[in-house]
Amino acid sequence: MSELDETLQIFFSETDELIKYAEESLLALESTPESTEDIEQLFRSVHTMKSGAAMVGFMGISEYAHLLENLLERLRSGKLAVTNNLITFLLDAIDFIRSMLDRVAEGEAEADPEVLGQRQGQVKRYLGVEAATPREDAVETASTEPPEEPAEEFSFYKIDLNFEKHLFYSGQDPLLLLLNLSELAEFVTVVPDLSELPDFENFSMFELYISWQIIIKTKMPIEDLDDIFMFVVDDNDIRIEDITKDYREGIDTKLADKKLGEVLVGESRITEETLNDALKKQKMLGEILVEEGKIQPEELQKAVTAQEESRKVYRKTTIRVDVDKIDRLVNLGEEMGIGLSKTQLLLEKLVGSRRMEILEEMENLLKVNREFQERVARVRMFPLEGTFRRFQRMARDLALEQNKRIKVILAGLDTELDKEVIEYCTDPLKHLIRNCIDHGIETPEERVAKGKPAEGTIELRAYQRGGRIFIEIREDGRGIDLQSIYKKALEKGWIQPDQAPSERELLDFIFRPGFSTTTEVTELSGRGVGMDVVKTQLDQLGGTIEVRTEKERGTTFILCLPLTSALMEVLHVVVQGTSYLVPVQVIVGTELFEESRVKPVGPEDRVYPFRGDYLPLVNIAKILDTGTLSANGNGSVVIFVDTGTKLFGMVVNELLEPQQIIVKTLETNYRSVKGLAGATILGDGSVSLVLDLLGLEEIFFKTSFKGGEHYEGEEKGKSG
């Protein structure tokens, strides 16, 4: 990969994060308009986007972001109020930047020049730089604030820019600062000082040797000029001087084309030698502070050293890694583990004085390999914050389209999930949020008539339990109409008139293909597509979904997801001669099986005592159609598991050693099998099946215990 390609990859990755931060800030401002912290984060995000785009040559993005930055500066200074129209306008502007990024990523132009010009014109009208055109669309009219009255007179400023040589390491570009300045002022003169420029042999492309002296003409106040240099003023020598009075009183305008030193030499105020000496004595901020007695020299040196070391370490320790490379490492770790296990089995057959020593070393290698796999797997884990923030924005936009008011509450943002799992569950989450807004949340008028607040609430919450990740989507709308589901099920022939399905069975119907109780077809609903997609994708992922609803109180969707798709701790068991692997995270206990302790519940169902409760016994062999388990107490073991929704026991014939494995899906080479999460190759070369306990639970409680009539997981296994 060339250096340019790597730079572009870093730019796209960082800009994605900045866009996310900008959206988060805007959505937060909508509920707390007075939050200066969110305004500052928004300003910093746009400012950094502008600088980054210019550094890689995307000037259209940079110039547009720069206009937005000027607009946000008015927000920071309190000259522009935070309104819903402004938030909508800025979110749309961020979307436009995202669209330009998508285009350049595909090798296209950033935007059509006419479209870019129109977008820039919208921002300028907010700034009062450009008069509004007669032909404005509805969005522009709704979002454009009245321009402020222009200032009556111009002011003139002299600006000296003397930067430290290592400015580029801080991510700043002096040319971008000049570009920012040009948006607020007219340059009367720009004079670069090249006196510090070294010869070619000593020239470093990573250091800055040029300083500038500038005279500008502007209507903007000096505070706005100060803000342009807010990120560099502390570490560099930046001076802004108002020379309006002197300029008007007849200072020779021809002098503006010369450096200050040339002017002084020409007026015989100083000699050229004095000028050269003075230029060499330009002082850094630290030196000035020492001379003024504000800080001790040793304190300054300590701070400078710490800063330099920090920059060096940060550059050395921070890298970006492609996900495919991590996946290849995971697979290599698995192959090494299998090879080591096979080697260990062969070595166990050796005889001799060194046998134990060799086996001990093999065990150490296996431990090292397990730790290697764990550490690689952790690299794949990402917090759900970014995913939740995107859905917060989506929910806001959908609600506005339907003239609804919602507040989105996020919880458990630091909960981590495998990146691949996050990608798989993105579409299901999107469908569920759309469903909540379209079907669940009422209009403000409806809510007020029902005695509810005009603003509805949608809560996204994530948490980890029992080795699984749970994501809850809860809304306080009208709730699901079970009677409508019943009528639709009758209409579809899914049930007969004499049947009385339970609430859980009725709610399961909403995940069937073609189900919809909406008579009006809209962009979001009424086509019978959506919820069945949710169920299908979760099944493929090895996850489940549960629905809870209460009339006029709202609906909650609970997604149960695997923590990672890469690495799993399992317990090796044997049932009727077949090898199975049980995820360790869900196991809450094991004990020798005693037939005498089994209690029958109904014709075929059985329960077993565990910690003061009675738990259902799941017959793995029967469910997976591999025979009927014969557990006569001779060495059989009962394993108790908690899937996060229910507790139950499983009887196995043999309990072997726990292992760490990488699960391979069955779907690639065979097909998806309910109750099986996948398979793996063991150390001896044999294949073992990994149990999907949520799938087993679903099959078992639909065929036994009548869907939970005699047993509910919330009651922790008490018999009915």
pLDDT of residue 82: 85
Mean pLDDT of 561-581: 78
Give the pLDDT band of residue 149 (cuts 50, 70, 90): very low
Note the pLDDT tens digit of each residue in 446-494. Answer: 999 999 999 999 999 998 876 678 999 999 999 988 888 888 888 888 8
pLDDT tens by residue, 334-353: 778 777 777 877 777 777 77
Lowest mean pLDDT segment, chosen from 261-270, 287-296, 347-356, 406-415? 261-270
The structure tokens 């020379």 sit at 243
151 has a pLDDT exceeding 50: no
How distant is the alpha carbon of residue 691 from its chain centre?
30
Whether pLDDT at 652 is above 50: yes
The token pair that represents 337 in the structure block: 């583990």
CB 304 within 8 A of CB 286: yes
CATH 3.90.1170.50 fits 155-282, yes or no: no
Assign domain 382-562 one CATH number from 3.90.1170.50, 3.30.70.2520, 2.40.30.10, 3.30.565.10. Answer: 3.30.565.10
Which pLDDT value is given to residue 132?
A: 39
Q: Show me where the domains of the chain are located.
A: 3-143, 155-282, 323-379, 382-562, 568-715
Give me 483's structure tokens: 């009677």
Length of the chain: 720
- Give backbone dihedrals phi and psi of 171, rounded to 5 degrees, phi first: 85, 10
Average pLDDT along the chain? 77
Pair of tokens at residue 75: 């927000």
Q: Which two tokens stand for residue 662?
A: 């990488």
Q: What angle do CA 484, 488, 489 make, to 5 degrees?
A: 115
Confidence of residue 220 (pLDDT cuts 50, 70, 90): confident
The percent of residues in the chain predicted with pLDDT above 70, rounded, is: 77
* pLDDT value for 251: 47
Q: Is residue 51 pLDDT above 90, yes or no? A: no
Predicted TM-score (pTM) above 0.85: no
Structure confidence at residue 113 (pLDDT): 85
Q: What is the mean pLDDT of residues 428-432?
A: 87
CATH number, domain 568-715, options 2.30.30.40, 3.40.50.1820, 3.20.20.70, 2.60.120.260 = 2.30.30.40
Question: What's the average model confidence in pLDDT over 273-298?
Answer: 68
pLDDT reading at 257 higher than 60: no
Say which range, 140-154, 374-388, 537-551, 665-679, has the weakest mean pLDDT: 140-154
User: Cα 542–547–552 angle (5° rounding)?
Assistant: 160
Q: What is the pLDDT of residues 60-113, one digit of tens each?
A: 888 888 888 888 888 888 888 888 888 888 988 999 998 998 888 888 888 888
pLDDT surpasses 60 at 437? yes
The pLDDT of residue 711 is above 60: no
Q: What percent of the chain has pLDDT above 90?
A: 6
Q: Which of 38, 42, 41 is nearest to 68 (CA)?
A: 42
DSSP 248: H
What integer pLDDT is reported at residue 704 of this predicted model?
A: 66
Q: What is the pLDDT of residue 529?
A: 43
User: Residue 242: pLDDT band by 50, 70, 90 thresholds?
Assistant: confident
Show the tokens assigned to 565: 């798709």
Tell me how far apart the terminal alpha carbons of the chain are, to the nearest angstrom. 65
User: What's the distance, CA 667 to chain centroid?
Assistant: 29
> Shortest CA distance to 442 belongs to which of 431, 432, 428, 452?
452
Architecture of the domain whose range is 3-143: Up-down Bundle (1.20)
Specify the range with the lowest mean pLDDT, choosing from 22-36, 495-509, 596-610, 657-671. 657-671
